[in-house]
Amino acid sequence: MSFENIILEIDNNIATIFFNRPKALNALNNALFDELDAALDQIMANSDVRVLILTGSGDKAFVAGADISELVKMNPLQAKYFSRKGQKVFSKIEDLPIPAIAAVNGFALGGGSEAALACDFIYASEKAVFGLPEINLGLIPGFGGTQRLARLVGNNRAKELVFTGKNIKADKALEYGMINKICSPDTLMEEVLKTANLIASKGKVALRAAKEVIQNGTATDLETGCRIENDAFGLTMSSEDAKEGTSAFLEKRKPEFKGELK
């Protein structure tokens, strides 16, 4: 599938997807979701890819939300299915077997914040603006934002953002624990790549297990979460990466993880 609304680049074990509708501030339309879905399939089929980065083309926006010009033409049933489609694609990002980092380079509003929240963590430029302004359109977030934001920053802060429709700048998002780091616009991609490369140098089996355990474990009670961790720990112990990592430590050398699922 060729892409018109996104760009997929794969370089040195890192895949980068650029939301690429700069004239509409990278707003999310149906075609973009189809392409994003296909790009995620390509990434999953490529065993060389160890980390995914999501970012926006141009210097103004990550994603300014769902495409409002497309949204207004939808009847209630079409809106319901569009909302479900977006949720499914964002859940696919969340469930990827590799880590996903959002590099938020500008406006991340509505569906834009929701896309970033589906990633494992977010680095943002000083110019980034986050928010769920759907209430200003007489709507509510529909791509998982009410759920992921509330789980991340707490119900009270999520409700204030959703009820007021007010945007917040990167420093407030950092204070809320919504993002991990603020960078200057010029160094954002450099910083994200530095972290992505560090993660890519680790064992693939352990990375996948760590992501699954944190996600599945925190969706349940502590005791069940710890048991999920036990099982995953046992499984990672049997991997080639674990043999390499522990041997390298004892032999006082750097480990060389092969990135294979065995």
Residues that bind ligand CO8 (CB under 6 A): 24-25, 27, 64-69, 71, 79, 82-83, 86, 107, 109-111, 133-134, 137, 141-143
* 25/173 with CB nearer ligand CO8: 25
For the question of residue 134 being annotated catalytic, the response is yes
* 87/216 with CB nearer ligand CO8: 87
Element housing 188 (H / E): helix 188-200
Can you tell me which residue has the tokens 């043999």? Answer: 243
Candidates 4, 114, 223, 240; catalytic one: 114
* 46/136 with CB nearer ligand CO8: 136
Eight-state DSSP code of residue 98: S
Distance between CA atoms of residues 259 and 48, nearest Å: 8
Eight-state DSSP code of residue 28: B
Minimum distance from CB of 119 to ligand CO8 (Å)?
A: 17
Candidates 35, 70, 126, 134; catalytic one: 134
Minimum distance from CB of 130 to ligand CO8 (Å)?
A: 11
Q: Which residue is nearest to ligand CO8 (CB)?
A: 110
The answer to whether 105 and 125 are in contact (CB under 8 A) is yes
Question: 197: closest CA among 13, 3, 10?
Answer: 13
Angle at 130 between CA 127 and CA 131, to 5 degrees: 150
* 56/111 with CB nearer ligand CO8: 111
Eight-state DSSP code of residue 3: -
Catalytic residue annotation: 114, 134
